[in-house]
Amino acid sequence: MPARFRQWIPLAERWGIADDLIREDCVRKATPEQLRELLAFGDAYDAILTEWLAGPESSALRPSEEYVAFTCLGIAIDLARIKLA
């Protein structure tokens, strides 16, 4: 896990839900303020996050818990963009 993402672990714990249905429900029920916080992270770190998630660990048979959480966080960001559109 890149060191620059350590400060965002709480955000990944909140939104990096592996279950699609539960993640979608959480985004659907989120307040606009919560969604703006999520999108602020996505806007600031999208390219760096994509670089990490598309890197060598993307082909790992057992990716780290952090990798999975941040992958799901990225999906939550996409859902938030749709909801606020």
At residue 44's C-alpha, the angle toward residues 39 and 50, to 5°, is: 90
Evaluate if residue 4 carries a pLDDT over 90: no
pLDDT of residue 12: 93
Q: How far is CA 1 from the centre of its chain?
A: 13
pLDDT band at 5 (very low <50, low <70, confident <90, very high): confident
pLDDT of residue 48: 87
* Mean pLDDT to the nearest integer, 59-74: 94
* Mean pLDDT to the nearest integer, 32-39: 93
Evaluate if residue 19 carries a pLDDT over 90: yes
Tokens, residue 82: 């749709």
- Among positive and negative, which fits the CA dihedral 62, 60, 15, 82? negative
Q: Which one-letter DSSP state was computed for residue 4?
A: G
